[in-house]
Amino acid sequence: MLVSALLMSVGINSCLCVLLFILYSILRKQPHNYEVFLPRRLVAGTSKRRRNKVARYIPSVRWIWKSWRPSEEELMASSGLDGVVFMRMITFSLKVFLFAGIIGVFVILPVNVFGDQLTHINYADWSANSLDIFSVVNLNTRSPWLWVHFGAIYLVTAFVCCLLYFEFRYIGMKRIEHFHSSKPQPNQFTILVRNVPSSDGATVSDTVDRFFRENHSSTYMSHVVIHRTSKLRSVVDNAKKLYKKQADPQRVKKTPMRFFSRKDTPEGHYEKVLQELEHNIRLGQAEVSSPGKEVRAAFVSFKSRYGAAMALHMPQSVNPTYWLTEPAPEPHDVHWPFFSASFMQKWISKIVIAFACLILTALFLVPVVLVQGLTNLSALEYFFPFLTLILSMYVK
């Protein structure tokens, strides 16, 4: 590979980075993207709506400087421990690249360039040279400068290992500190139990209660059986959408010709629709409470987090397909349609996802292999003889 090709690659990647930065600075200003880029500020009510529509499409770099201003305490208060860890990952990468860049530019690069193994070096036009002059290939086999080259590499490796050790220890201490300072959450005392076996003459609730009273009598506290609520959930979602429309006065359309407008006000119309939705919700709640709507899964709560952890990691049955336990998700992370799927449906979905990932990886590798093959036309001609005519063509 030539130096000019490397410089071209650096230029293309730099332009792509600048383009992505510009797109991000524009997209984050669009009102329909506030829920993606500014969810916490929307919940807190501190986000400001931009009245100037032209300013939304002008890229800015102030957000880059603002992202480095907050301290770790401010990040912990605004974004939690995940935000602090993510920021530490960025600073760790910058430290590694800065140290490795200094050692590479001022130690390894001069040692390799001034080697005498390669004699065909064009000092007048550096871009026409091969990248081998910057590598260890340019050094003789028994050259004393090899110790400098490998010593610098060992120094970078030792620096990265030490930095990793201190970062892992710091983040581990932060996790323990955050765990002790945070209040206990309900999901920490709860586990999700799926594939509850059926019993003759007993409901799912009775089966779960009897099983955990017999096997975890000292730590078991209560349980909640999951029901199929697809219809009820759709009604509740419609009610939420209607409430948002009523709460936003800008969405209420006014008819300019009142002679042809409806006699009832928008508030009266929404009130009637909400009454119908309330009636449908009550019917859905009554339908959900029926025994036929029970899913063979339940949230089981324990008296302590230790009891929940013991029940989570212990096999509950000889049959591996029954009494499957997993950590209970947080309330806002619950995906209710997930509980209605059977054991085979979940396994089939996992196989489909794994197969889709393999296909995506293969599709990604195709252009990479083609681009890498163009850098070595002789190997490409050897493996694909039918391309000999095309590869032998040249542009006049």
Task: Report pLDDT digits (tens) over 331-364.
Answer: 777 776 677 666 677 788 889 999 999 999 888 8
Enumerate the β-bridge partners of residue 152. Answer: none
Domain residue ranges in the chain: 3-181, 186-340, 349-391
Residue 129 structure tokens: 């040279």
pLDDT of residue 1: 59
Pairing mode, strands 294-302 and 324-327: unpaired
| Higher per-residue confidence, 117 vs 55 | 55
Segment 215-229 shows an average pLDDT of 86
User: Helices H, strands E: what count in the chain?
Assistant: 14, 4
Residue 182 has pLDDT above 90, yes or no: no
Whole-prediction pTM: 0.60
Per-chain mean pLDDT for the chain: 77
Enumerate the β-bridge partners of residue 223. Answer: 300
User: Are 106 and 144 spatial neighbours (Cβ–Cβ below 8 Å)?
Assistant: no
SS3 state of residue 226:
strand
pLDDT of residue 104: 87
